[in-house]
Amino acid sequence: MLVQLTCGLRRLVMSWLVLVLVLALAVALVGLGAPAATAAAAFPTAAGVVGRLVTLQGVYTEIHGAPARPGSTVDTDTPLFELSTGGRHYRLKFAHEPHVRSRATITVTGVLVGHTIDVTAPGSGVAQVAAPAPAPSSSATSTGAAAGAAVRTGTKSLLTINLTWPGAALTATAPAEQNFLFGADRRSLASYYREVSYGQLSWTGTVTANLTGTDPGSCDLTALSDQAEAAATAHGYTPAAYDALIINVPSLHCPSAGYGEIGGKHTWIQDGLWNLADGYAREVATHEIGHSLGLYHSHGLECGAVTVSLNCLTNAGTNSQEYGNAYDLMGNNWPGDAHDAVTWFSAQQELTLGWLSGSQVRTVTTTGSYPLAPLEQAGATTPQVLVLHSATHSYYVEYRQAIGQDAFLSGYPAATNSIHISVNNPGSTDTGPYALDFTPDSNLGPGYQDWYDAPLTDGRSFTDPENTFTLAPVAGGSVAVTFHTTGPSS
Ligand SMILES: [Zn+2]
């Protein structure tokens, strides 16, 4: 029987007896430390390879990639999944992504071949045992608990492990990597994070020598990180002592140029970390560290020729452009890439990170005019995000200017003569915001250019599809808000 959390409803109708039996089996097998075969020793996986049916309990982690370079066609995310238990790491192969948030504790039943657990085989399934621990520094916002328990303030340490193999080399040198990651240059990863955290997060760290390993030959991030950590340890480094790891290799053999664990410590980069003059190269490393801090992608709500409809909003998960937000590091960053820039996180991600809090956040519940300071402004005494709730969703309103890392916005007036509005997707395990596009279908090309002019320009207005409120930006960053008494529309 199938024990799989594809949705809450399914969990309710699932036989409790089967769940109890599977959990009892999990406890018995996890107690043995290593995966153990069940009485029926051999099972064919979906690919026909014979393996052992195992049940293991451990920490579930989602691994997501970076967007493509500008000029590419729009890419789809290719997430990878992992189970960590007892110091071992297993790849998980699903037919459909489970309804479980990254860093939850789960029980997995599937067919083990090598270090891959095939959860598509008959009798396979996933059950959540415990939700992810809340982040210690997360502020009291309505964005929902962020994935993982990553601390997002103070000084964090980062170990970069450089791994090469015969016939393949890395472009970066250790001094170039030190400068790329931790240098005083405003374009370094550390400088970026210091600014966008309003001075609350600093990165320090170490870069290893080039260590020699074995080409995995295929997209196998779990094997690559196991190999890199073992090599680093053998050469006197202590990966366990660092808050985050970047594994830099000549080739990942994966669709994306970089990957990061959501709420976990591992990130992977394909031959990067050396070119501060390349906005895309900068974006890949900072984006993956964003995943490590617990962030999902910043999407675009794609409703065709309209900005939003109730039906489109209700089904945001299926109307999502994965990397849609052009002005968010966890989105596509294409306008930034073109100007050697890495754009800020949008306000909703800043809330998730806990960097935007207190008087910087204003929840609006009554009609009036509300001033907004630019999101990028340090030490602002005026709110930098307005939060408005409808019956079912939360909207986040921000004002952006060409300041600091966002200086490149001077070339994108649509991003500065406007307000940016995103909406959440309650009920999804993906906490990433959905940007709204107020000039939908302005560019029907294959890239992300349609999202460059997504913000709501001064003089226009927006009424949410539940008819709760109307917003109208005023030049200079104020927002006129009118609440309606008609209540939610059907
Ligand atoms: Zn990503």
Who has greater pLDDT, 31 or 399? 399
Q: Is 248 helix (H, G, I), strand (E, B) or coil?
A: strand
What is the whole-number distance in angstroms between the Cα of residue 335 and the centre of ligand 1? Answer: 17
Q: What is the CATH number of domain 153-292?
A: 3.40.390.10
Terminal-to-terminal C-alpha distance of the chain: 39
- Which residues share a beta bridge with 28? none
Residue 324 has pLDDT above 60, yes or no: yes
Q: What is the pTM of this model?
A: 0.88
What is the whole-number distance in angstroms between the Cα of residue 285 and the centre of ligand 1? Answer: 10
Where in the chain do CATH 3.40.390.10 domains reside?
153-292
What is the whole-number distance in angstroms between the Cα of residue 54 and the centre of ligand 1? Answer: 30
How far out from the chain centre does Cα 198 lie? 20
What is the whole-number distance in angstroms between the Cα of residue 268 and the centre of ligand 1? Answer: 11
Q: Which CATH architecture has domain 37-130?
A: Beta Barrel (2.40)
What is the whole-number distance in angstroms between the Cα of residue 323 and the centre of ligand 1? Answer: 8
Angle at alpha carbon of residue 365, lines to 360 and 371, rounded to 5°: 45
How far out from the chain centre does Cα 294 lie? 6
Instruction: Answer for the pair 395, 375: CB distance below 8 angstroms, yes or no.
Output: no
Residue 489 has pLDDT above 70, yes or no: no
Show Cβ contacts of residue 206 under 8 Å, excluding neighbours closer than 6 positions. 157, 158, 159, 160, 237, 242
CA-to-CA distance for 238 and 295, rounded, in angstroms? Answer: 26
Where in the chain do CATH 2.40.50.140 domains reside?
37-130
What's the pLDDT tens digit per position in 255-295?
Answer: 999 999 999 999 999 999 999 999 999 999 999 999 999 99
What's the pLDDT tens digit per position in 369-428?
Answer: 999 999 999 999 999 999 999 999 999 999 999 999 999 999 999 999 999 999 999 989
What is the whole-number distance in angstroms between the Cα of residue 35 and the centre of ligand 1? Answer: 31
CA-to-CA distance for 276 and 199, rounded, in angstroms? Answer: 21
What is the whole-number distance in angstroms between the Cα of residue 314 and the centre of ligand 1? Answer: 24
CA-to-CA distance for 35 and 39, rounded, in angstroms? Answer: 13
- For residue 130, the one-letter residue type is A
What's the pLDDT tens digit per position in 132-185?
Answer: 987 654 443 434 444 445 679 999 999 999 999 999 999 999 999 999 999 999
Token duo for residue 51: 């393996």
CA-to-CA distance for 224 and 314, rounded, in angstroms? Answer: 39
Cβ count near 379 (within 10 Å): 7
Q: What is the CA radius of gyration of the chain?
A: 23
What is the whole-number distance in angstroms between the Cα of residue 430 and the centre of ligand 1? Answer: 12
What is the whole-number distance in angstroms between the Cα of residue 290 and the centre of ligand 1? Answer: 8
- Which residues share a beta bridge with 118? 93, 111
CA-to-CA distance for 131 and 260, rounded, in angstroms? Answer: 20
What is the whole-number distance in angstroms between the Cα of residue 300 and the centre of ligand 1? Answer: 14
Cα–Cα distances in angstroms (integers) from residue 94 to residues 36, 85, 109, 154, in the given order: 21, 18, 11, 37
What is the whole-number distance in angstroms between the Cα of residue 156 and the centre of ligand 1? Answer: 20
For ligand 1, a single-atom ion, the residues with CB < 5 A are 64
What is the whole-number distance in angstroms between the Cα of residue 208 and the centre of ligand 1? Answer: 24
What is the whole-number distance in angstroms between the Cα of residue 63 and the centre of ligand 1? Answer: 8
Instruction: Answer for the pair 412, 442: CB distance below 8 angstroms, yes or no.
Output: no
CA-to-CA distance for 286 and 290, rounded, in angstroms? Answer: 6
